[in-house]
Amino acid sequence: MKRAKIYKPSKTAMQSGLKKYDKWIIEFITDDPGKNPLMGWESSSDTYSELKLEFKSKEIAIEYAKKNNINYEVIEPKKRNITKKSYADNFIE
């Protein structure tokens, strides 16, 4: 049986906007990664590890996993703690 994790990707430190981060992703987990004896790279015979599926909402992603008999784990995103500041706060003690 296939295993996967369902998560919402976080933005990188180099990005300020949140436009592209409204999708949920199913990423399959590989059980048996091995080392390629010729090059030394990590490889696997499981091609599902190369697959990432995008969904508009968490519910649609969970429904897809249930329909296709995929064991899944949902990783909830952490909420950002936004502190509103004023420019004047730089000069007030």
Domains of the chain: which residue ranges?
Answer: 1-10+21-31+45-78
Continuous segment of H or E residues that includes residue 67? helix 58-67
How much is the average pLDDT of 72-84? 86
Domain 1-10+21-31+45-78 classification at class level = alpha beta
Question: For 28-76, how does the pLDDT look when each residue is reduced to its tens digit (9 = 90+)?
Answer: 988 777 777 788 787 777 778 788 999 999 999 999 999 999 999 999 9
Would you call 56 exposed, middle or buried from its count of C-beta atoms within 10 A (0-12, 13-18, 19+)?
exposed
Which pLDDT score is estimated for 63?
95
